[in-house]
């Protein structure tokens, strides 16, 4: 899941609230919907995902990823919004969205101050029946200026927790549909005209009015920002004149002048604050709306982009095509070509070219949606500062020249030198951040890999090895982050000190030319210099954001102008045939370059087998389209070579309107490609295709949506109950629906994660039938279902309900062929023959051979063909809870215990006082510097000028040093805490029982280890620093004012109370609105990611528009809450500014009224500070929200580190090193259930396995075969009975001691990123000789490879033949550079290396071809001779030679005995299985003899 970039800089402390809008980290919550993939590391990207990552992620990450979004939901998000309510459970995190009614919490015992709080008087507003339109729609002018229209929502949020229905629906003018329409027209017009930057100008035209209202507000605020401090000069002059008049007896100036000036300064402040607020609001709205429009446009484009463009192979995009057609376009083209020629001469490659070649995999498209649109959104908020900041600098310089004459240039010179240096330093942070991102990515990838394969890690007892590997990467990451933060803190300290030193230089220079420092000019100038901090500090930030946004805009523009796929079909509704191919040739596209394809391969990993050639992302090659040759050893090359794309050539075929056609052929012959071509996935290069009707597509890899079972079947069509029930019956889904907790209203997890492969495939078929198209394309849909279910579907669905349709079925199930009308036999992308079954059997020898060799093997899958007997029919489960657990989630603010835990994790609780002391010292130095300036201007101590100058400069330098020390210490302690808390959390998670992983979406866990850790690493310490610094600053200034103007305290108390109320009013509702926005954003990310993976199905069904409209609705739902986060921030800003402005007015009046008693120097100092206070107050509230959000991440990580349930200890009693010597296993009345309150899955299992015995375990799906293995490894603890191995009860020994002495060859061969060596032996416990021996035994390398051969020959061999495997062969994530067969063999080699006495084999050959299966069986028989072997069998033939067979049924042992004994048992389950698989008595005897032969040969 991937998420938005984090900033590489942080705006300094006393900036306006404008600086870091709270949503700058909103993506943190973007969570797991799919942690959106982390941004690709192109030249432009700077930060982490998602995911993300997303991811972010998340997205924000979100993931994202990113996955990604608020941690709530995988399965839950897609409910109608009205159904989303919050579960309240103490602990942490954003929302848990659920469909159940929220439990009524008992009324709180409110503290006294809550009861006396007048704001809580009156009734609690009721929850509205339905959502109303945003009140902004018909708000009046004044209400819009002050955001008063937000007050009803803020009041509701203060009096009770907000409900989903309280969130107003989006303002119709801001809805995605009308804005997109306007944008699309403008964009298309500009592309046609050949404009240079059509995307930028189309956005500009779409949001012109709002954008420039913000621009006008920015200009107004800028001018007032500079003139208000200048006006102070006259107010201070007034006080000085009065002071001198009082001392000398001259006539004093009239008081009305002073009061008029105080009112004038206040009025300027009021308009300035409104200007800033409207600049930010309009900027954010333009950003938010642009993002909504762009996400929709990217999705729309992803639905129609051509395969060629996806593969990065299209020569011309739309802009290039238009360029030749307009005058303007021709000029642009000429310019570009000249530039290209110059670059070519210099040997440069343009970045555009590189990007073109990369192509548009799903990962990259998700990146555009999650990261790039977010950057454009982020940059819009303060974009106008780019041109208003220079204006502000020039006006300030002019006014400083008026105040200090040419002396002002001394200070300005420092700015002129400092600003570019700071900007350069900030750019260097980008580079560092990029490097850190790579390390972080590695850590997050490794974490994700471990979590995805956690069952495997536990089986092998490898937790400690992986924790060590993670710690290594984390140390590197933390070290780099600490250096980065130290540099960033230095930049901040310099940025903070620049105005101090600039003003110091100017004043020193002034004092050298004018011996007396006049307070009016000096303090007015001090205020002007302080005012410069904001534009100066903001400018690099905004420039950085804008550069990022511009490159993002270019990428999105490139994507939106890519070539589109045109459906090159002829539709003839009245033609005689349903489908006609005439001389048609199709091609897949060239593979995407390896690096960008990696991400997409992850998506396709569950779809790739053998030596699969990579196809454009998002359309991973169907599994049988490897390449023209079959998947032999050479196609299994471990290097991803770029091969010619697969083509279908010269196809001629006519299919009748109610014909059933089977498409057959060997692996790689083009079966799936033919269906893909008809579904519109392949590009037609020749000939013509005629369709006579609508089509439905049932792809090989079922695409399942994260919605209810019913919605997956109806797929947007009206509900027709009778037809629906027939479809359910025909697809054998009724029994499954009865078992699901809510029947067909049960929600399916993302990517169908909560249902089995067979169920996915049957839903896929049901969808195709329900859609009721006249042409149904089915790509081997029966492969994933049990044989008896396959028969049922074939009879009732394919021959039954679809009997009068045109059906095209690609299949490996040869038993169906005799019942098809005709057979299309494919070989090497061409049609070999088209004929009936009988004719092919008669005329084609090759076809006869094919039928004979495979008939028996294919029948073997039917060992489960017996339908469930009446007594073991699944019982209707009572209405169950959702599978995925709700995220624990804090509703109130973060408790103090979390802060204490955070401090403790940094080393000791004493770190907190140390940091606080430094903070107080730096504030003391700050105030002393300013006070010293007053002493100097009033010459309080009659010291020589040089002394005043020296002390002043010394104090300024001291302040900067202490400030830096404070920041660095805070960063070091923060990153240390983060490191410790992550270590605790990941350790605890790896020690959690499997039940935790079964009920927690992976994205949610990853989100904590990516997004939350990212916040703790990079942003939390900054937020704490700025918040504490702002609070300390404000407090010290108030203390200073009260020390000289005692009456200020009187005004401060009521204003302080108002301030607290405004802040708590805001926080109460802002927190909830933010949470809803996160949930809804994750919904958008999930919908987007899901649609992308299902493009082929969506296009084939012709439902493009429906999915686009659905996404737009989801975007509007998200924006309804997202826009409210902008307006509630502004609502608060205006109210906090009002309080600040009241303070300015109070101080102004106090200075006027105390003009005789208080030295004007002090008055000047206080006035110059109070102007800065306004912005600081607002910033303080915002930073508090940031700290709370950051601490929320700490709380979530702490929950994982301290609250998760743990498995039994890794070590308990000492176990003798040789155990188990014999491998004797005794199961004594074993009972087991997966989680409390679930039924028993093993019920009284008793079995005595002798040492060295081979036992085959068989049974129907769900009979309890794999559960036996889980109990043996104690992945699940047994509920009753006992298991002993060689006399030791396994429940008494440590888990590591147990698991490290057993070996398993699992069903899914898991490989980790690294090398072959690190996969076979992660602890480095074995010699190379042992590892090579295992590779040879597993048939992964020839018998002459390895240390046995001379070193040189091995190396030379490896160089000459890159497909040869050696110990240092790299293994990609998930082992994607190995074929599935090689991965199975690698799992076997791993078990051989372990050399355990007991080996468990869990359907290890279920997904390999016959040849590989034979190899594996041979190795198991010879390599594990004399060991105890428990083998769960998928193919009955593989175990009929074993010593004994254990037949499981409904959690009990139904039959146990030798294969011969069980075969002779007439009417027995095993005998029935053998009969259906065509296994005769001679086969069993032959297998037994073969096994004995192997034993003897390996024994000699």
Residues 1149-1160, mean pLDDT to the nearest whole number:
89
Give the containing element (helix H, strand E) for 581: strand 577-587
Which tokens sit at 926?
């700050």
Burial of 844 (0-12, 13-18, 19+ CB in 10 A): middle
Residue 865 has pLDDT above 60, yes or no: no
Q: Does the structure show a pLDDT above 70 at 157?
A: yes
Residue 450 C-alpha from the chain's centroid: 17
Q: How many angstroms separate the Cα of 1305 from the Cα of each of 459, 1308, 1315, 1369?
A: 10, 9, 19, 21
Q: Which of 331-335, 535-539, 1064-1068, 1291-1295 has the highest mean pLDDT?
A: 1291-1295
Using alpha carbons only, how large is the chain's radius of gyration in Å? 36
| CA distances in angstroms from 1400 to 1253, 1266, 1281, 1403, listed in the order given | 12, 10, 21, 10
For residues 761 and 341, which has the higher predicted lDDT (pLDDT)? 761
Q: What's the average model confidence in pLDDT over 1249-1262?
A: 85
Question: How far apart are the C-alpha atoms of 956 and 411, rounded to whole Å?
Answer: 14
The H helix count followed by the E strand count for the chain is 48, 26
HEC states along 315-375?
Answer: CCCHHHHHHCCCHHHHHHHHHHHHHHHHHHHHCCCCHHHHHHHHCCCHHHHHHHHHHHHHH
Q: What percent of the chain is modeled with pLDDT above 90?
A: 22
Q: Residue 808 and residue 824: Cα distance in Å, rounded?
A: 10
Angle 1236-1238-1244 from CA coordinates, rounded to 5°: 95
Instruction: With cut-offs at 50, 70 and 90, classify the pLDDT of residue 1477.
Output: confident
Q: Which two tokens stand for residue 872?
A: 């073991």
Cα–Cα distances in angstroms (integers) from residue 192 to residues 315, 319, 321, 1356, 1423, in the given order: 18, 7, 9, 57, 69
> Both tokens of residue 236?
């201070």
State yes or no: pLDDT of 472 exceeds 60: yes
- Torsion, CA 116, CA 121, CA 123, CA 127, rounded to 10: -80
pLDDT of residue 1323: 79
Exposed (0-12), middle (13-18) or buried (19+): which is 1325, by Cβ within 10 Å?
exposed
- Give backbone dihedrals phi and psi of 655, rounded to 5 degrees, phi first: -120, 130
693 token code pair:
């009707």
Which of 730, 862, 859, 736 is CA-nearest to residue 787?
862
Summarised one tens digit per residue, pLDDT across range 1077-1088 is 877 887 888 788
Would you state the structure tokens that stand for residue 1230, as one six-digit string? 């074993």
As given in the structure block, the two tokens for residue 55 are 């991811």
Cα 1391 from Cα 248, distance rounded (Å): 101
Confidence of residue 83 (pLDDT cuts 50, 70, 90): very low
Count other Cβ atoms within 10 Å, centred on residue 71. Answer: 35
Residue of 1412 and 387 predicted with greater confidence: 387
pLDDT digits (tens, 9 = 90+) for 650-674: 889 899 888 899 988 766 678 888 8
Q: Residue 577: pLDDT band by 50, 70, 90 thresholds?
A: confident
pLDDT of residue 46: 33
Q: By C-alpha distance, which of 785, 799, 61 is closest to 444?
A: 61
3-state secondary structure of 584: strand
Coil, strand or helix at 689 = strand
Reported as type and span, the H/E element at residue 1493 is: helix 1481-1499
Structure tokens at 691: 């369709």
Residue 1454 has pLDDT above 70, yes or no: yes
pTM, entire model: 0.71
What angle (nearest 5°) sits at the alpha carbon of residue 423, between those of residues 421 and 429?
105
The pLDDT tens digits for 1090-1141 are: 888 888 888 888 888 999 999 999 999 999 999 999 998 899 889 989 988 9
Tokens of 799: 């021959």
Q: Which residue has the higher pLDDT, 1405 or 372?
A: 372
Q: Label residue 880 by pLDDT band (50, 70, 90).
A: very low
To the nearest 10 degrees (0 to 180), the angle between helices 519-560 and 208-248 is 170
258: left (phi over 0), alpha (psi -120 to 50) or beta: alpha
DSSP secondary structure code for residue 961 in this structure = H
Whether the predicted pLDDT of 996 surpasses 90: no
Res 817: pLDDT? 85
CB 1325 within 8 Å of CB 1395:
no
Cis bond before residue 58 (omega within 30° of 0): yes
Q: Do 444 and 38 contact (CB within 8 A), yes or no?
A: yes
Structure-token pair, residue 753: 């994660």
Question: Residue 1377: how many CA atoms within 13 Å on its side-chain side?
Answer: 24
- The residue assigned the tokens 């702002």 is 1030
Q: Regarding predicted confidence, which is higher, 97 or 370?
A: 370
How wide is the angle at C-alpha 218 spanned by C-alphas 217 and 221, nearest 5°?
85
Counted residue by residue, the chain has a size of: 1500
Pull the structure tokens for residue 659.
Answer: 């014909």
Helices of type H across 622-718:
671-679, 709-714
Residue 115, pLDDT score: 58
Q: What is the mean pLDDT of the chain?
A: 78
Tokens of 1182: 């915002």
Of 758 and 604, the one with more pLDDT: 758
Is residue 1319 a contact partner of residue 1334, using CB atoms and an 8 Å limit?
no
Mean pLDDT of 145-156: 92
| Confidence at 1193, pLDDT banded by 50, 70, 90 | confident
Q: How far apart are CA 403 and CA 342, in angstroms?
A: 52
Spatial distance between the Cα atoms of 828 and 1455, rounded to a whole number of angstroms: 47
Lowest mean pLDDT among 41-55, 369-383, 689-703, 1364-1378: 41-55
Q: pLDDT tens-digit profile of 605-649?
A: 333 333 333 333 333 333 334 333 333 333 333 333 445 677 888
Confidence of residue 349 (pLDDT cuts 50, 70, 90): very low
Q: Report d(CA 922, CA 912) in Å as an integer.
A: 16
The full DSSP string for 1090-1149 is HHHHTHHHHHHHT-HHHHHHHHHHHHHHHHHHHHHHHHHHHHHHHHHHHHHHHHHHHHHH
pLDDT band at 973 (very low <50, low <70, confident <90, very high): very high
Query: Cα 102 vs. chain centroid, distance in angstroms?
Result: 28
19 band by pLDDT with thresholds 50, 70 and 90: very low
Contact 241, 252 (CB under 8 A): yes
Q: Are strands 1428-1432 and 1254-1259 parallel, antiparallel or unpaired?
A: parallel
Look at residue 842 and tell me whether its pLDDT is greater than 70.
yes
């Amino acid at each position: 899941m991937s998420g938005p970039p984090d900033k590489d800089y942080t705006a300094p402390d006393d900036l306006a609230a404008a600086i870091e809008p709270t949503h700058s980290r909103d993506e943190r919550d973007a969570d797991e919907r799919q942690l959106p993939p982390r941004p690709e590391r192109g030249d432009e990207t700077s930060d982490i995902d998602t995911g993300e990552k997303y991811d972010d992620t998340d997205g924000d990450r979100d993931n994202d990823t990113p996955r990604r979004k608020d941690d709530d939901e995988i399965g839950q998000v897609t409910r109608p919004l009205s159904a989303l309510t919050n579960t309240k459970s103490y602990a942490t995190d954003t929302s848990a969205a659920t469909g159940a009614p929220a439990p009524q919490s008992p009324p709180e015992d409110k503290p006294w101050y809550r009861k006396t709080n007048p704001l809580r008087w009156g009734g609690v507003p009721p929850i509205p029946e339905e959502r109303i339109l945003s009140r902004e729609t018909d708000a009046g002018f004044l209400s819009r200026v002050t955001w008063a229209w937000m007050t009803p929502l803020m009041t509701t949020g203060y009096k009770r927790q907000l409900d989903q229905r309280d969130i107003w629906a989006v303002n119709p003018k801001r809805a995605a549909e009308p804005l997109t329409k306007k944008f699309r027209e403008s964009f298309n017009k500009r592309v046609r005209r050949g404009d240079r930057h059509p995307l930028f100008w189309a956005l500009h035209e779409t949001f012109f009015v709002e954008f420039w209202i913000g621009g006008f507000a920015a200009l107004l605020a800028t001018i007032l920002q500079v003139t208000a401090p200048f006006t102070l000069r006259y107010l201070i002059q007034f006080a000085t004149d009065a002071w001198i008049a009082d001392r000398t007896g001259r006539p004093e100036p009239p008081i009305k002048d002073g009061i008029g000036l105080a009112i004038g300064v206040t009025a300027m402040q009021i308009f300035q604050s409104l200007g800033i607020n409207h600049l930010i609001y309009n900027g954010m709205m333009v950003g938010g709306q642009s993002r909504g429009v762009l996400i929709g446009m990217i999705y729309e484009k992803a639905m129609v982009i051509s395969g060629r463009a996806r593969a990065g192979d299209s020569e011309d995009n739309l802009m290039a095509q238009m360029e030749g057609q307009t005058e303007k376009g021709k000029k642009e083209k000429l310019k570009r070509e000249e530039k290209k020629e110059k670059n070519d001469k210099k040997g440069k490659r343009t970045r555009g070219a590189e990007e073109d070649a990369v192509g548009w995999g799903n990962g990259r498209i998700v990146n555009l949606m999650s990261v790039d649109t977010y950057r454009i959104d982020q940059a819009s908020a303060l974009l106008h500062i780019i041109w208003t900041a220079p204006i502000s600098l020039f006006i300030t310089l002019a006014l400083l020249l008026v105040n200090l004459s040419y002396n002002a240039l001394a200070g300005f010179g420092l700015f002129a030198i400092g600003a570019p240096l700071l900007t350069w330093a900030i750019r260097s942070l980008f580079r560092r951040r990029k490097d850190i991102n790579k390390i972080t990515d590695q850590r997050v990838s490794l974490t994700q890999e471990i979590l995805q394969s956690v069952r495997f890690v536990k089986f092998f007892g490898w937790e400690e090895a992986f924790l060590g590997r993670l710690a290594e990467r984390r140390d590197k990451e933390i070290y780099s982050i600490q250096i980065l933060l130290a540099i960033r803190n230095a930049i901040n300290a310099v940025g903070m000190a620049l105005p101090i030193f600039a003003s110091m230089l100017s004043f020193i220079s002034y004092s050298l030319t004018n011996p007396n420092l006049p307070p009016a000019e000096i303090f007015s100038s001090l205020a002007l210099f302080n005012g410069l901090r904001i534009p100066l500090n903001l400018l690099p930030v905004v420039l950085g954001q804008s550069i990022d946004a511009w490159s993002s805009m270019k990428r999105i523009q490139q994507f939106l102008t890519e070539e589109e796929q045109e459906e090159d079909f002829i539709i003839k509704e009245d033609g005689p045939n349903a489908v006609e191919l005439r001389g048609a040739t199709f091609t897949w596209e060239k593979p995407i370059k390896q690096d960008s394809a990696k991400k997409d391969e992850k998506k396709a990993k569950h779809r790739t087998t053998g030596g699969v050639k990579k196809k454009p992302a998002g359309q991973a090659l169907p599994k049988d389209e490897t390449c023209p040759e079959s998947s032999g050893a050479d196609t299994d090359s471990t290097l991803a070579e770029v091969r010619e794309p697969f083509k279908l050539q010269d196809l001629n075929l006519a299919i009748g309107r109610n014909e059933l056609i089977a498409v057959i052929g060997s692996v790689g012959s083009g079966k799936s490609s033919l269906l893909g071509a008809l579904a519109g996935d392949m590009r037609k290069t020749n000939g013509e295709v005629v369709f006579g009707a609508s089509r439905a597509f049932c792809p090989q890899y079922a695409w399942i949506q994260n919605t209810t079972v019913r919605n997956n079947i109806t797929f947007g069509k009206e509900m027709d109950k009778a037809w629906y029930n027939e479809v359910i019956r025909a697809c054998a889904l009724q029994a499954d629906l009865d078992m699901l907790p809510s029947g067909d209203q049960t929600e399916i997890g993302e990517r169908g994660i909560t249902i089995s492969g067979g169920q996915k495939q049957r839903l896929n078929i049901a969808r195709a039938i329900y859609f009721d198209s006249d042409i149904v394309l089915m790509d081997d849909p029966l492969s994933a279902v049990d044989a008896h279910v396959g028969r049922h579907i074939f009879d009732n669905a394919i021959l039954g309900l679809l009997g009068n349709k045109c059906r095209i079925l690609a299949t490996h199930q040869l038993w169906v062929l005799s019942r098809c009308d005709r057979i299309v036999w494919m070989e090497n992308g061409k049609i070999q023959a088209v004929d009936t079954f009988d004719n092919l059997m008669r005329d084609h020898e090759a076809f006869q051979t094919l039928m004979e060799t495979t008939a028996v093997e294919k029948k073997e899958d039917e060992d489960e063909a017996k339908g469930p007997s009446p007594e073991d029919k699944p019982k209707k489960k009572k209405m169950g809870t959702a599978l995925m657990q709700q995220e624990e989630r804090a509703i109130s603010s973060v408790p103090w215990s979390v802060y204490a835990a955070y401090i403790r994790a940094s080393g000791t609780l004493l770190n907190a006082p140390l940091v606080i002391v430094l903070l107080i010292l730096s504030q003391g130095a700050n105030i002393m510097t300013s006070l010293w300036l007053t002493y100097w201007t009033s010459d309080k101590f009659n010291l020589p000028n040089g002394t005043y100058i020296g002390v002043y400069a010394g104090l300024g330098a001291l302040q900067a040093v202490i400030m830096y020390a404070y920041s660095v210490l805070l960063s070091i302690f923060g990153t240390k805490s983060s490191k410790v808390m992550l270590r605790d959390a990941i350790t605890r998670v790896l020690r959690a029982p499997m039940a935790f992983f079964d009920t927690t979406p992976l994205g949610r866990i990853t989100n904590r280890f990516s997004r939350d850790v990212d916040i703790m690493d990079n942003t939390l310490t900054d937020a704490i620093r700025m918040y504490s610094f702002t609070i300390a600053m404000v407090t010290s200034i108030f203390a200073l004012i009260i020390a000289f103007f005692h009456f200020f305290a009187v005004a401060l108390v009521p204003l302080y109370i108002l301030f607290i109320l405004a802040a708590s009013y805001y926080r109460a509702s802002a927190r909830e609105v933010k949470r809803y926005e996160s949930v809804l954003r994750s919904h958008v990310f999930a919908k987007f990611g899901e649609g992308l993976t299902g493009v082929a199905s969506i296009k084939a069904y012709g439902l493009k528009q429906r999915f686009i409209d659905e996404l737009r609705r989801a975007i509007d739902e998200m924006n309804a809450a997202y826009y409210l986060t902008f307006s509630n921030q502004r609502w608060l800003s205006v109210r906090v500014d009002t309080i600040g402005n009241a303070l300015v007015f109070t101080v102004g009046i106090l200075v006027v009224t105390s003009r005789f008693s208080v030295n004007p120097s002090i008055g000047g100092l206080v006035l110059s500070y109070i102007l800065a206070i306004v912005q600081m107050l607002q910033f303080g509230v915002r930073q508090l929200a940031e700290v709370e959000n950051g601490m929320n991440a700490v709380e979530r990580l702490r929950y994982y580190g301290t609250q998760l349930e743990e498995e039994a200890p890794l070590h308990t009693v000492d176990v003798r090193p040789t155990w188990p010597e014999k491998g004797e296993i005794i199961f004594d009345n074993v009972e087991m259930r997966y989680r409390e309150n679930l039924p028993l899955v093993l019920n009284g299992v008793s079995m005595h396995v002798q040492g060295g015995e081979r036992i085959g375990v068989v049974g129907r799906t769900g009979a309890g075969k794999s559960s036996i293995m889980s109990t043996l490894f104690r992945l699940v603890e047994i509920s009753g009975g006992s298991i002993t191995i060689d006399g030791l009860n396994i429940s008494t020994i440590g888990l590591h001691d147990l698991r490290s002495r057993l070996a398993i060859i699992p069903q899914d061969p898991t490989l980790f990123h690294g090398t072959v060596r690190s996969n076979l032996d992660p602890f480095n416990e074995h010699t190379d000789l042992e590892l090579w021996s295992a590779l040879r035994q597993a048939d992964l390398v020839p018998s002459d490879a390895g240390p046995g051969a001379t070193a040189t020959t091995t190396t030379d061999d490896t160089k000459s033949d890159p497909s040869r495997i050696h110990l240092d062969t790299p293994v990609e994530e998930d082992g994607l550079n190995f074929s599935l067969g090689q991965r199975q063999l690698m799992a076997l080699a791993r078990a051989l290396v372990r050399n355990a006495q007991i080996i468990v084999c869990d359907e290890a050959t279920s997904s390999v071809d016959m040849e590989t299966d034979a190899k594996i069986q041979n190795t198991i028989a010879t390599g594990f001779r004399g060991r105890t072997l428990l083998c769960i069998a998928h193919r009955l033939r593989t175990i009929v030679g074993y010593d004994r067979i254990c037949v499981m049924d409904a959690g009990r042992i139904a039959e146990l005995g030798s294969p011969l004994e069980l075969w002779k048992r007439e009417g027995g389950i095993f005998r029935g299985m053998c009969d259906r698989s065509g296994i005769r008595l001679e086969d069993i005897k032959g297998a037994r003899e073969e096994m004995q032969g192997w034993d003897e040969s390996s024994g000699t």
